[in-house]
Chain A
């Protein structure tokens, strides 16, 4: 007999060992998320997928599903928390959406729209972070990195290269590149690496093809992120 738990009253079937997120996505129930992707081990850092399971706040991407659990996802309280977390991600970096070439195909932007977070009310940090354009085919704009570590995981687990790691701590935590100079151009990163295609925001960019889709045809222009899905899978089905 299949086991079930509930998300906002909707029964969700699950297999033992699945997280709330695994089971929800398999059942077509969208839970907003950024650092999670089913291709990689759950990370639990962005906290955008916070839900309430039997009264307790947990990250859906790491918390095991259990028989009969009552999970709240869309309550006003959780919407407010999620909205706050998204605001935090916007104000800690430099996200000038109108000028960003990822605009329209950015998962952070798409999740923010989905969660009705339209303008951050928190003070901006305006951190000074640089752009690394040393690689012939790729660029990194550190001002947009949300520390989801998808590139770290992709490079380590799929590409077998470990080109990325995290340095610093607290609000100064930042992405590190594995070369003595710290520059991407001095690594053996290739544009064909998985890590080049997983960034949910406009931090890791592929050169020579900026602004190639007109407004109206970009990834999230027609349908919301809950239908389109994550940047990673969408990148892979890109028709070019």
Chain B
């Protein structure tokens, strides 16, 4: 099963097992992981599902499309090189992903 390790801005960690095909955002929200708001439910309209991906995991993820790239310029906490919108990240078999949630999403 794919697993996502969510670390919040204070350093608390939540490990959540997800289903292949679900997004990182859905996996977080359904289990009530704080730090992911996801107002638009994954339709790439809100930028409140921002995560920082641990550097060694970045290469496991699909490249970002223009719309995600543009939306990332409007996040509540400024983007960094390892920023992604978690609704655009799908869980794949055996994926082990480490992400940090920003201090604020809105």
A, B bound: no
Residues of A within 8 A of B (CB): none
